[in-house]
């Protein structure tokens, strides 16, 4: 399992081969198998296969990215930003499928129960303080990526397209209480995807053992 997890990459270049619908259905099955807060399953996924709609999404992201680039060009950070914005739309443009994951928030049950008992809900940290629905949807995105990997497809989770959040939500009819969480580019991989290193375990894991209390 560990070897297989390590073999997953964010894939940003794809061939023109379409992705079969039954494969996509399995990928979405993978997504909705994720755990969620009180099993609320606070997620939804819009799967864009139609080329014309994909093109409109790419166009919206490119336009917003260009706007940002123009503004940044006037700042002293222009060189640092460089072509970074291209990572916001290029994988989408190459993808055969774009999935837009969405989540919605629910009332914070425990906080409301505290309030109904006369308590001060601000004195307690409950599910909303950890954005439990967003966490659940992130898990669904990960299981989607893993199932895509298992199917031999390439995929890339992307925050970049959020620059065109309003435009994409309007194009796809996504309205409150639903909120888009980035975009996922999917397709048959073309070319090599770089291996991104990981921070060493001792920088990110803190052990509390019996003998170092
Ligand atoms: C929340 C999130 C947002 C990301 N946004 C982008 C993005 O906008 N464009 C992109 O090319 N990759 C994006 N990535 C992919 C990361 O760059 C990638 O996961 C990271 O570099 C590690 O590489 P690996 O997934 O191949 O191991 C994103 C990943 C996550 C989890």
Write out pLDDT tens, residues 117-161.
999 999 999 999 999 999 999 999 999 999 999 999 999 999 999
Going by CA atoms, what residue is nearest to atom 12 of ligand 1?
158
In a domain, 13, yes or no: yes
Q: Which domain holds residue 166?
A: 8-73+81-106+127-191
CATH at residue 97: 3.40.109.10
Tens of pLDDT, residues 159-184: 999 999 999 999 999 999 999 999 99
What does the pLDDT read at residue 21?
98
Going by CA atoms, what residue is nearest to atom 17 of ligand 1?
10
Going by CA atoms, what residue is nearest to atom 5 of ligand 1?
158
In a domain, 38, yes or no: yes
In a domain, 209, yes or no: no
Domain count across the chain: 1
In a domain, 203, yes or no: no
Contact 179, 102 (CB under 8 A): yes
In a domain, 112, yes or no: no
Q: List, chain by chain if needed, residues with CB within 6 Å of any ligand 1 atom.
A: 9-10, 12, 87-88, 91, 156-160, 182, 196
In a domain, 3, yes or no: no
In a domain, 86, yes or no: yes
Burial annotation 163-201 (CB, 10 A radius, 16+ → b, else e)? bbbebbbebbebeeebbbbbbbbbbbbeeeeeeeeeeee
In a domain, 151, yes or no: yes
CA of 21 to the centre of ligand 1 (A): 25
CA of 91 to the centre of ligand 1 (A): 11
């Amino acid at each position: 399992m560990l070897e297989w997890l390590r073999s997953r990459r964010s894939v940003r270049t794809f061939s023109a081969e379409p992705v079969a619908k039954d494969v996509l259905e399995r990928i979405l099955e993978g997504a909705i198998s994720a755990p969620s807060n009180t099993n609320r399953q606070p997620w939804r996924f819009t799967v864009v296969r139609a080329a014309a709609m994909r093109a409109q999404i790419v166009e919206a992201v490119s336009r917003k990215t260009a706007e940002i680039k123009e503004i940044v060009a006037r700042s002293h950070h222009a060189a640092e930003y460089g072509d970074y914005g291209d990572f916001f739309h290029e994988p989408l443009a190459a993808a055969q499928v774009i999935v837009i994951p969405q989540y919605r928030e629910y009332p914070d049950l425990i906080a409301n129960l505290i309030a109904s008992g006369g308590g001060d809900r601000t004195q307690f940290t409950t599910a909303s303080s950890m954005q439990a629905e967003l966490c659940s949807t992130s898990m669904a995105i990960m299981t989607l990526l893993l199932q895509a990997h298992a199917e031999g497809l390439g995929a890339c989770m992307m925050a970049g397209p959020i620059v065109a959040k309003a435009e994409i939500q309007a194009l796809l009819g996504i309205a409150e209480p639903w909120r888009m969480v980035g975009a996922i580019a999917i397709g048959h991989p073309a070319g090599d995807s770089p291996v991104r290193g990981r921070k060493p375990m001792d920088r990110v894991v803190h052990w509390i053992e019996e003998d170092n209390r």
